[in-house]
Amino acid sequence: MADNNAAVQDNDQPLLMAEGLGKTYGRLSACRDVSFALYPGEVLAIVGESGSGKSTLLQLLSAQLAPSAGKVSYRMRDGVMRDLAALGEAERRFLFRTDWGYVHQDPVLGLRMAVSAGANVGERLMAVGWNHYGRIRDTATSWLERVEIDIERIDDAPRTYSGGMRQRLQIARNLVTEPRLVFMDEPTGGLDVSVQARLLDLMRNLVSELGLAAIVVTHDLAVARLLSHRVMVMKGGRVIETGLTDQVLDDPREPYTQLLVSSILPA
């Protein structure tokens, strides 16, 4: 019972917090005044069209870009909330290899295309000091199975894979170290509709099974609906509407959100 309470309390603490986050390039403001808290196990979708600032925001949140204003804090595995800008480069990169995942829209950016699938998945393990080939291979195999890649293909390089397989491999590569937070940048962009559906289903299951928190950038409201608990609508670098995903999509308030929602093609 005490343990249970502790767990509940733990989940009441945000995993990641953005406060007054902004990024300007000279006079151009790519993203302004973004504040929110993300809790463990929560999936947040950032939606908006090209140029709305959602990709900039994702880069700020994942510490790949230094903010011009505000800050991002993250609860490290020891429970301490740390300002990402104050982390050393080694710490930040370590976070990226262990506690975070980053799924690129283009799997070529997230994979080593000339290295076998098994080694692509195993790399993160080797990076945190795994030094037993058999165990690395077993773990890679079980992850390939989890993302529905035929294990016969474990020694093939991803350049021989289809787009959907590459994306699933990228997900396995990211999740193998059991991160607590995954950033996804248009994870289904550029895939056929049927391939998208399979990928979305897979991601949804993995996220809920592993209790992952995720921040998903997408221009596809259907993706937001399937994957996310909460949604943030961006326009012109600002968050114009935020709330529960089904609330925002079924009962949009802002003119722009209403326009976005009304622009969805009927399935």
Partner 1 sequence: MTAMIDISRAEKTFTMHLQGGIELPVVSGVTFQVEPGECVVLSGPSGAGKSSILKMIFGNYRCDGGRIGIRHQGALVDLASAEPRQILSVRRATIGYVSQFLRAVPRVATIDVVAEPLISNGMARPEAQERAGQLLRRLNIPERLWALPPSTFSGGEQQRVNIARGFISDLPILLLDEPTASLDAANRAVVVELIDQKKRADVAMVAIVHDDEIRHLIADRIVDVTSFASAA
Partner 2 sequence: MNAPVYNFAYLDEQTKRMIRRAVLKAIAIPGYQVPFASREMPMPYGWGTGGVQVTAAILGPDDVLKVIDQGSDDTTNAISIRKFFARTAGVATTTATADATVIQTRHRIPESPLHGGQVLVYQVPIPEPLRFLEPRETETRRMHALGEYGLMHVKLYEDIARFGHIATSYAYPVKVNARYVMDPSPTPKFDNPKMDNCPALQLFGAGREKRIYAIPPYTSVVSLDFEDHPFTRYRFDAPCALCGADDSYLDEIVTDDQGSRMFVCSDTDYCENRQAEGHRGSESAAPHKERPHG
CA-based nearest residue to 191, from 163, 214, 211: 163
156 and 116 Cβ atoms separated by less than 8 Å: yes
Based on CB atoms, which residue is closest to partner 2, 123 or 241? 123
Ranges within 2-61 binding partner 1 (CB under 8 A): 39, 42
Q: Would you tell me how many other CB atoms lie within 10 Å of the CB of residue 194?
A: 9
* HEC secondary structure over 94-120: HHHHHCEEEECCCHHHHCCCCCCHHHH
* 200 near partner 1, judged by CB under 8 A: yes
CA 34 to chain centre: 18
Q: Tell me the window of 49-57, 103-111, 130-138, 251-259 that interacts with partner 1 (CB under 8 A).
A: 251-259
Q: C-beta of 26: minimal distance to partner 1 in Å?
A: 33
* 152 near partner 2, judged by CB under 8 A: no
* 145 near partner 1, judged by CB under 8 A: no
Q: Which of 75, 104, 124, 230 binds partner 1 (CB under 8 A)?
A: 230
Partner touching 132 among partner 1, partner 2, none, CB below 5 to 8 Å by kind: partner 2
CA angle 252, 247, 250 (to 5 degrees): 55
Partner touching 50 among partner 1, partner 2, none, CB below 5 to 8 Å by kind: none
Partner touching 42 among partner 1, partner 2, none, CB below 5 to 8 Å by kind: partner 1
Q: Which of 137, 146, 153, 204 binds partner 2 (CB under 8 A)?
A: 137
72 and 21 Cβ atoms separated by less than 8 Å: yes
Pair of tokens at residue 205: 């299951």
* 244 near partner 1, judged by CB under 8 A: yes
Look at residue 14 and give its three-state secondary structure: coil
Q: How far apart are the first and last CA of the chain?
A: 46
Based on CB atoms, which residue is closest to partner 2, 68 or 141? 141
CA dist 247 and 114 (Å) reads 44
* 262 near partner 1, judged by CB under 8 A: yes
CA dist 103 and 93 (Å) reads 15
Residues 98-127 as x/- pattern, contact with partner 2 by CB under 8 A: --------------x--xx-xx--xxxxxx
Pair of tokens at residue 200: 């979305």
Q: Tell me the window of 90-98, 162-170, 193-201, 220-228 that interacts with partner 2 (CB under 8 A).
A: 90-98
Q: C-beta of 136: minimal distance to partner 1 in Å?
A: 28
CA dist 72 and 186 (Å) reads 22
Partner touching 126 among partner 2, partner 1, none, CB below 5 to 8 Å by kind: partner 2
CA dist 21 and 229 (Å) reads 22
* Residues forming the site for partner 1 (CB under 8 A): 39, 42, 197-198, 200-201, 204, 208, 226, 229-230, 243-244, 246-247, 250-251, 253-255, 258-259, 262
